Structure 1
């Protein structure tokens, strides 16, 4: 009896995707097998016919089929091409009607304490990478990144010598990465520490979350800047803290405005989020003086200090902390790429020990393979070369943004004095930047409205953040012009 042949028309490719065509073909075939659309013994369409249907080279299909033979999904048949392997070793997904929808939202409303989906946050359009003018903050320009070097570090990290690190289930940090933080990263910020005072985290946000979780085990009165990074303020509220905000000025958080009775202050002194203001040394000393006198601790989020192409960044607040009152959060994600999600928390040894135990209960530890890859990238000098390239390019882009804004009614309301990757911009009074951002999408322009950074319902509506790390230099002038035309 002749075996049924699967029609070529059941397979499709996503031409908009940047993923290799051969990979997409393999995945499409595997999906058809696992879902039982392609049954054991069924003949695959010929490589010639499938290649013609998909519009790819015949060799692309042949190589995909051969890889699936090696994996056991297909069998090569003499004079018959390829067929689905007839083996019980391949699990197949059950096929049936979708279950009926059951509405039990009332039950879940009783259980959930808060609707996090409605929280105030910065939201990027999902397709922002396809926009011609993406003034998006915190994203890496792939044209600058050293891909070849990263691939080489990945290759080294997956080698036999490093396998034990990746296979371990212990809640430990990569010693090579910790050593680089202690010997290179922290000294650049004026900080001296030992390995017991450092914890690797899943980005700086995870570091701050761990600090918040530890601090809110007892009732906590906390202060955040206004405006500030919205996730920090909302994480404090979510964990039960009594949160007060203190309005910042051109020098950041005014320490003398911190109310009495506060137990923790969350601050971005070297590069305020989102205005970029730098807290001067006198204010930092005053903040530490008040922390000692009033017995509160400080959580310092120190990001983007590497992007110092105008003048050297100020030393971190923790660098002048003589009484161990500062928890310091740093990150590799901003300088390397945000999807890396690697950061670190630095603080007193007993606090880091508690944070390590808490992290262990949440996620054990950040992936060992990523830690070791990043460690090689850092230790072998690729990171320093990348930072050099980024500083040179971002200096040009910042200059282009400032010059373009000078030709409009838009005002630079805040910027990091050492450089950075964004500007805090004020539109004319009465402008609703939420509406402006939505309207600009029709022009292919992406900006970040300022409303999520402010506390309360009566926040200013005229501010927005203009990032320049992910927009090509030649697009900046036209992009700013389009923004001005919509104002």
Structure 2
């Protein structure tokens, strides 16, 4: 017969489940398994009946029965007909190793042992609590409400079938012949004007690993690599890590400029489609000039196609690599911006000998890219879900860009910006003088998050006017106008007095 003490004990072991978290069945199974492995439910312990479990945990009786069926199937619980459920005696509790006392010892001098003597690198990271901010004008995050979860789940189930699991590329097999590379070659790269073969494509764990691999292969002391200024910090940090000299390359409204600094470089890193952070698209004439300059000076170009295929009218310019007659462009991109950064699916397109060397370097880090995500993404592209999502993303981004532009014209009429033609960012040049750092924290205090322009600058005088980058891929459209009104109040309330020094 149940008692108050009986109920209290089980309520402590199995707290009420939360409907907004994992599925109820999973939460209860996890609680039981944790209690068993930690020894709080010893072998032979009688468990509550399915009716009692439902009452104690706040779930339906069907859910309670499914929990017990799963625990029995996984060997944690024994089912005894007409007697009930009991903790299985074959599962020993997890034992923590107890180290024996050791005499006091001197720890190693880690600073002397570690190879890198570089000072701390600068990152343009957003605060980890950005999701709690009411108006997150941030870039690089996807909108989970727009993600086609049912289609992705369908492809994921197919990737878990036996035939698909067999293609998860066990160690030692030819990873270059993967199904995802095949879909990139057939369906994704052609839209950027790029023709490639399997031996010219390397899958990576996102663009970040691509930067690191390219840096390890090409950057060394004495090498000069040009990076756009203002520009993305991560490739700059990667190239400088192994001793390469990184020089800043100026940009204007047409993209990367042909300057004397450009002629000094062995390699050029650029973002022609939507320049990071200004969103400028490199013009056709400037693209031809950069390629001709690279040919004259025997340079190699790293083309980072950060946000491909999101030109709102669907007619984006071909990638720089697509119009490169001399094979001087190494192209890198990812599926993360459209799908999710958490998937970590990137790729590099380069001549076959370069890909082979990059693959050997990658092998020093990881033996293979996770095959389950590869197969799921390949099926997602193959079955047309990627194209449909791309079209929906273009429409939504265009609507958000128009809403953002309209709100800015009303709230900040003296600020300047160019209407985006694609992508998910807008570069805003402010009127007057502003301390961007204090402006940033004032915005956060009011629930408005943005990227201050100087976070993308390695040199103090890069910005001729204080500027902000506003991302609109992660914010709901109905929040754009009120968010910009709040931003306008913050900016107008923190303008510096004439004659003060601008940071």
TM over 0.5: yes
After TM superposition, the structure 1 = structure 2 runs for residues 59-458 of structure 1, keeping only pairs within 5 Å, are 59-78=62-81, 81-88=84-91, 92-94=94-96, 107-114=109-116, 118-166=120-168, 168-170=170-172, 172-173=175-176, 175-216=178-219, 219-310=222-313, 312-409=315-412, 417-456=420-459
Gap change, CA 1:212 and 1:74, over 3 Å in 2: same
Which residue matches 1:471? 475
3-state secondary structure, aligned to 2:332:
strand
Query: For the Cα contact (< 8 Å) 2:192–2:309, is it kept in 1?
Result: no
1:265-291 superposed Cα distances (whole Å, 9 cap, x missing partner): 111112101111111122222212221
Q: Which runs of 4+ in 1 moved over 6 A?
A: 97-100, 102-106
Instruction: Output the CA distance in 2 between the equivalents of 1:122 and 1:271.
Output: 18
Instruction: Output the CA distance in 1 between the equivalents of 2:418 and 2:48.
Output: 59
1:110-156 superposed Cα distances (whole Å, 9 cap, x missing partner): 23355899532233333433443222212221222211111111111
Gap change, CA 1:412 and 1:178, over 3 Å in 2: farther
Flag the structure with larger Rg.
2
1:41-68 superposed Cα distances (whole Å, 9 cap, x missing partner): 2334555555445443344333223211
Gap change, CA 1:80 and 1:131, over 3 Å in 2: farther
3-state secondary structure, aligned to 1:39:
coil
Gap change, CA 1:41 and 1:311, over 3 Å in 2: closer
1:93-124 superposed Cα distances (whole Å, 9 cap, x missing partner): 41769999x99887222233558995322333
Gap change, CA 1:78 and 1:99, over 3 Å in 2: farther
Query: For the Cα contact (< 8 Å) 1:73–1:85, is it kept in 2?
Result: yes
Query: For the Cα contact (< 8 Å) 2:279–2:420, is it kept in 1?
Result: yes
3-state secondary structure, aligned to 2:392:
helix
TM-score scaled to structure 1, two decimals?
Answer: 0.90
**Structure 2 unaligned residues grouped into runs of 5+:** 1-5, 492-503
Instruction: Output the CA distance in 1 between the equivalents of 2:195 and 2:169.
Output: 31
Gap change, CA 1:464 and 1:24, over 3 Å in 2: farther
Superposition CA RMSD, Å? 3.1
1:210-229 superposed Cα distances (whole Å, 9 cap, x missing partner): 11111025642111011111
Query: For the Cα contact (< 8 Å) 1:411–1:426, is it kept in 2?
Result: no
**Structure 1 unaligned residues grouped into runs of 5+:** none
1:411-439 superposed Cα distances (whole Å, 9 cap, x missing partner): 76555753111112234444334333333
Gap change, CA 1:259 and 1:150, over 3 Å in 2: closer
Instruction: Output the CA distance in 2 between the equivalents of 1:484 and 1:106.
Output: 53
Query: For the Cα contact (< 8 Å) 2:139–2:474, is it kept in 1?
Result: yes
